[in-house]
Amino acid sequence: MDAVNTTGRTGSTGTDIVYAYAILRRTSEAAEAVAGLRGVAGEPIRLLESSELAAAVGPVPAADFDEGPLKAHLEDLGWLESTARAHHAVVAALAGLGATVLPLRLATVYLDDDRVRQTLDARRDDFLPLLDRLTGHVELGVKVYAAPDAASPDPRPDPDPAAVPAADLNPGRAYLAGRRRMRRTAEDAWQAAGRAAARLTETAGRLAVDHVAHRPQRGDLAGRAPGTNVSNDTYLVPADRVDEFRTGVLAAAEGLPGVHVEVTGPWAPYSFALPAEPAR
């Protein structure tokens, strides 16, 4: 959901264009699932149907979502966060009502309904097998953090051959000794986090049917978790194995000081939803 797709548009002169949220099978249950849903612009969500497939879409103002204004909005973190939350809410609502969905990327917009239907028809042989594969599965995230502050005190002696008890050190030497201890603790936490990531990948892989390694998160994206994110992976897990997956992953991380592990989800399968775009 972190990429923007402006599909099939060279610019719009109308007041509204079409924002697409997800692809799903064409069923009466899917039509009922979108009833009452509202999208990123507060618009009512509807289904555009074509053969065996449907797309959950809504009309959005070109003044905000056409190529030019969209680029400007993407510099506004508040607008971007609000839009991403609304996008995810539609996808999550569809998935929560039992529909198998292929979530589309944030700000996937089309000039009109016909362009959406053309995409459904052109990529039918891609979308249908994916829907079959994802039925009964969810996405879970596993993040590993190196958290030196959570590590046990370093029991090793200071490597300085002239080291003496801290109480007997002058302020300068005491400061340097403290810095050495902090550096060793941080190094130990990074090494432990690397071991944890390898162990968790092996454990999680036995409980999942697919795995995607994402770039570790930094800054605001990392949230409030302690330490530095060193591993940020997602797994496609059978819905009836979610508790087993969570328990197994967290158990595999036990006993490693200086490591913090988070298991997030379940989510709609964003990381596994779409095949590569066909060559043009």
Domain 138-271, CATH class in plain words: alpha beta
Summary mean pLDDT of the chain: 81
> When comparing pLDDT for 216 and 222, which is higher?
216
Phi-psi region of 260 (alpha: psi -120 to 50; beta: other; left: phi over 0): beta
**Average confidence (pLDDT) over 61-88:** 90
Contact assessment for residue 7 and residue 119, using Cβ atoms and an 8 Å cutoff: yes
Q: Answer yes or no: is pLDDT of 182 > 80.
A: no
∠ CA 243-218-269, nearest 5°, is 35
Is the confidence at residue 215, as pLDDT, over 70? yes
**Looking at the predicted structure, is the pLDDT value of residue 156 above 50?**
no
pLDDT at residue 6, as a whole number: 53
Mean pLDDT value of segment 169-177: 55
Label each residue of 167-182 as H, E or C: HHCCHHHHHHHHHHHH
pLDDT at 259: 81
Q: In a 10 Å sphere around its CB, with 0-12 CB exposed, 13-18 middle and 19+ buried, how is residue 38 labelled?
A: middle
Can you give the pLDDT at residue 18? Answer: 96
Q: What is the pLDDT averaged over residues 151-158?
A: 48
Q: What is the pTM of this model?
A: 0.75
> Using 50, 70 and 90 to split pLDDT, how confident is the model at 14?
low
